[in-house]
């Protein structure tokens, strides 16, 4: 495998970009192999997670053919939106405070709707902006206290409640698996998220997206039906912080 790039230091963008492209190519092959193992054929969207990296990471991902970029902080993302001139799709993947809802409606897809109160705030902001905001319901399958999201037991009631938010379009589910989970635990989490997507669909939402899989677990996620993976470290290298 090609080395993971170091954070861009400002000297040689072409070399950095070439390294990111080679990593993207390798990751796409691993996604395709996981799909083949599970006999799945639908397109899996690769979201390059550029949090903590500069705008060059977005530019390098774009040059590698990636069209979707993920950020976990509104303000950091807004800086990059202003700094790049390529029309990537922006994904908000991090926990959102309600007072950031106005900023959240600048994103193409908000993955992290983790409470009805936040849903209301984003719904209001979308209404004011005159748009229907595409969102995902974040679910906490493992029940870890450090992770946000609707519990599995609350998903059906939330799916019903979300029907009334006219400025939200609930397109599916996002989840995060525990770090260092066993393969069995990963599969249990990813299957739990898939079941919630069925619950959303049954409630009438256009729930076709399953956002699951990060650098350490994306192959299992793809085998379990992920339609979108969120990858940072495996493309851009270790983050100094997040």
Ligand X SMILES: *Cc1c(COP(=O)(O)O)cnc(C)c1O
Q: Could you list the residues that contact ligand X (CB under 6 A)?
A: 49, 51, 72, 93-94, 176, 214-216, 230-234, 242
**Tokens encoding 15:** 């070399």
User: At closest approach, how far in Å is the CB of 94 from ligand X?
Assistant: 5
Residues 6+ apart with CB under 8 A from 65: 21, 24
Instruction: Give the residue at shortest CB distance from ligand X.
Output: 232
C-beta of 5 vs 167, nearer to ligand X: 5
C-beta of 203 vs 232, nearer to ligand X: 232
User: At closest approach, how far in Å is the CB of 224 from ligand X?
Assistant: 16
Look up tokens 């705008």; give the residue: 55
How far apart are the C-alpha atoms of 39 and 59, rounded to whole Å?
33
User: At closest approach, how far in Å is the CB of 225 from ligand X?
Assistant: 17
Helix axes of 155-162 and 183-202: crossing angle, nearest 10 degrees: 40
Whether 121 contacts 144, CB under 8 Å: no
Look up tokens 């994306």; give the residue: 218
User: At closest approach, how far in Å is the CB of 233 from ligand X?
Assistant: 3
C-beta of 203 vs 212, nearer to ligand X: 212
C-beta of 220 vs 231, nearer to ligand X: 231
């Amino acid at each position: 495998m090609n080395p993971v790039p170091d954070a861009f230091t400002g000297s040689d963008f072409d070399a950095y970009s070439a390294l990111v492209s080679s990593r993207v190519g390798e990751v796409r092959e691993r996604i395709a192999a996981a799909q083949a193992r599970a006999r799945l054929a639908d397109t899996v969207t690769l979201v390059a997670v550029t949090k903590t990296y500069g705008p060059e990471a977005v530019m390098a991902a774009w040059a590698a053919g990636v069209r979707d970029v993920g950020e976990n902080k509104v303000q950091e993302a807004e800086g990059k939106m202003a700094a790049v001139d390529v029309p990537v799709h922006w994904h908000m993947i991090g926990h959102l405070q309600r007072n950031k809802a106005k900023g959240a409606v600048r994103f193409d897809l908000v993955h992290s709707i983790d409470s009805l109160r936040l849903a209301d705030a984003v719904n209001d902001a979308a209404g004011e902006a005159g748009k229907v905001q595409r969102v995902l319901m974040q679910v906490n399958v493992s029940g870890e206290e450090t992770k946000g999201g609707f519990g599995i037991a609350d998903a059906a009631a939330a799916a019903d409640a979300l029907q009334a938010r006219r400025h939200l379009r609930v397109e599916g589910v996002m989840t995060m698996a525990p770090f260092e989970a066993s393969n069995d635990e990963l599969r249990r989490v990813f299957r739990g998220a898939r079941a919630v997507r069925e619950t959303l669909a049954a409630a009438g939402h256009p729930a076709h997206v399953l956002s699951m899989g990060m650098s350490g677990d994306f192959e299992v996620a793809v085998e379990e039906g992920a339609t979108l993976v969120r990858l940072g470290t495996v493309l851009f290298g270790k983050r100094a912080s997040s």
